[in-house]
């Protein structure tokens, strides 16, 4: 599961000319669900997102989290985050989860985000959306749940061959 998050002053998502989700200061999360992703991936990314210190403290340093500043979240499903562009000129989306599986995990992510107590708005799954993002900073970060499976530091080479 991948999340592209952007710190925003405000953002909204529209479907068919109607606003379906809108936030003030907070984070926009574009969420891509991959084949094989689990509820644990959603939980990991929700926890990482709401606790990531990317909001300014009074000295202008990244010391505050979304929880600290009571940020709002706008969650938008975005399977194109799983694009494979290695070969050819047309992106392949074979790594993206099937729509039914992706929707279930997107809804799981939304529920877990709401459980944090933050205001959560969403787009509409499998709809053509227009997303209006007023990026603040700009601050844009990519999170990938595969990172949780990797060691925090590469293993040190053995002193003995």
161, part of any domain: no
Range 141-145 average pLDDT: 95
User: Looking at the predicted structure, is the pLDDT value of residue 152 above 80?
Assistant: no
Range 55-78 average pLDDT: 97
Q: What is the mean pLDDT of the chain?
A: 94
Catalytic residue among 80, 85, 116, 140: 80
State the pLDDT at residue 135: 97
Range 66-81 average pLDDT: 97
Residue 138, phi-psi category: left (phi > 0), alpha (psi -120 to 50), beta (remainder): beta
The domain total for the chain is 1
Query: Using the 8-state DSSP alphabet, how is residue 46 labeled?
Result: H
Q: The domain containing residue 83 runs over which residues?
A: 2-147
121, part of any domain: yes
Range 96-120 average pLDDT: 97
Residue 25 belongs to domain with CATH number: 3.50.80.10
User: Looking at the predicted structure, is the pLDDT value of residue 113 above 80?
Assistant: yes
74, part of any domain: yes
Q: Is the previous residue joined to 107 through a cis bond, with omega within 30 degrees of 0?
A: no
158, part of any domain: no
User: Looking at the predicted structure, is the pLDDT value of residue 59 above 90?
Assistant: yes
Residue 49 annotated as catalytic:
no
What value, to the nearest 5°, has the Cα angle with vertex 84 and ends 45 and 128?
70
The span from the CA of 120 to the CA of 135, in Å, is 18
State the pLDDT at residue 155: 64
User: Looking at the predicted structure, is the pLDDT value of residue 150 above 80?
Assistant: no
91, part of any domain: yes
Query: Using the 8-state DSSP alphabet, how is residue 112 labeled?
Result: H
State the pLDDT at residue 146: 85
- 76: its two tokens: 């938008």
- 49: its two tokens: 């997102």
H helices within 53-152, ranges in order? 66-69, 99-114
């Amino acid at each position: 599961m991948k999340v592209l998050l952007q710190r925003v002053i405000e953002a909204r998502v529209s479907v068919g000319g109607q606003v379906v989700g809108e936030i003030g200061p907070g984070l926009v999360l574009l969420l891509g669900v991959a084949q094989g992703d689990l509820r644990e991936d959603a939980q990991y990314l929700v926890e990482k997102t709401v606790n990531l210190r990317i909001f300014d403290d009074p000295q202008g340093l990244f010391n505050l989290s979304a929880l600290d500043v009571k940020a709002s979240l706008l969650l938008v499903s975005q399977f194109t985050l799983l694009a494979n562009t290695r070969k050819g000129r047309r992106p392949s989306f074979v790594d993206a989860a099937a729509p039914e599986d992706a929707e279930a995990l997107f809804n799981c992510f939304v529920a877990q985000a709401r459980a944090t107590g933050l205001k959560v708005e969403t787009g509409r799954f499998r709809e053509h959306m227009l997303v209006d993002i007023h990026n603040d900073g700009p601050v844009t970060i990519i999170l990938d749940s595969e990172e949780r499976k990797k060691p925090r530091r590469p293993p040190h080479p053995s002193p003995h061959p």
